[in-house]
Amino acid sequence: MSSEDELGSIGTVFPGSPIDKSIGSILPQIDEEVETLLEDSFTWNIPDWNELTNPKYNSPRFRIGDFEWDILLFPQGNHNKGVAVYLEPHPEEKLDETTGEMVPVDPDWYCCAQFAIGISRPGNGDTINLINKSHHRFNALDTDWGFANLIDLNNLKHPSKGRPLSFLNEGTLNITAYVRILKDPTGVLWHNFLNYDSKKVTGYVGFRNQGATCYLNSLLQSYFFTKYFRKLVYEIPTEHESPNNSVPLALQRAFYQLQVSDIPLDTLELTRSFGWDTAESFTQHDVQELNRILMDRLENNMKEHPWREVK
């Protein structure tokens, strides 16, 4: 639902909402520890729904915080029979002198926002309205988010049981966006981790899951960040050993890759040194038992070493 190939905007936008509800009453607080940076709302007035013959329309833009926002409308649906409505922020842009195109000033831009999209009948907004809520981490890969089936087209155009009037008032309709921009305390709030560069963001990489090895990944990270233990492992003599059957050497190589690699590691070499096959990797082992086995194997390899006791 990118805003590329825009068909232009129609209608007008005005600040606020025709529905007598505060943003706080519409958008529940997600977490007390997540700070709200700001919140605002704007309404798009569509003058004549019956003239919407194109598959897609954009509202005029409205500034909230560091972004200009617009609403994307698919009046005949977006691969379905319902009216589809999405919200999209637009970051600050600059001219790329190489391509001659406008590009974001910050290519890694993002915005974490709770939002709601509501439709209401002009003149009767307090009684004839529908509001859907969501939240999203907007970024260059996920530029918009919303509702593929906000309302059935027949329900929009005609009265129903319990609703004596349609949402359209002589063809006009209000679409309101309620936006709460949140501070991202961890840097990964609602992150989908597609194209996530852990090394760039945190300075560290982790492990890729191999079957059901999440417990092993956690154990290895605990080993790695225990500096004295890591030093002991590095000093185990392994010159004439193979990582396919030497736990100390495989562990040394894993630690080294955790320090220098730019991408997450797999644990295949290490589990192979345990003597595991594929079936073992898909078996959930007890992490305490695995820790005991690994410690026993390491101690056996350190008997001739000055620091052979691992406590």
pLDDT digits (tens, 9 = 90+) for 111-133: 999 999 999 999 998 888 999 99
pTM (two decimals):
0.75
Q: How does residue 8 score in pLDDT terms, banded at 50, 70 and 90?
A: low
- Domain range 12-182, CATH architecture: Sandwich (2.60)
| Helix pair angle (227-234, 247-260), 10° resolution | 120
CA within 13 Å, CB half, 176: 27
CB-neighbour burial class of residue 97 (10 A; exposed 0-12, middle 13-18, buried 19+): exposed
Q: Would the pLDDT of 266 be above 70?
A: yes
Q: Would the pLDDT of 193 be above 90?
A: no
Q: Which residue has the higher pLDDT, 303 or 294?
A: 294
For the chain, give every domain's residue range. 12-182, 198-301
Residue 3: per-residue pLDDT: 38
Residue 1: per-residue pLDDT: 42
208-214: average pLDDT: 79
Beta-bridge partner residues of 169: 172
The C-alpha atoms of residue 86 and residue 182 are separated, in whole angstroms, by 19
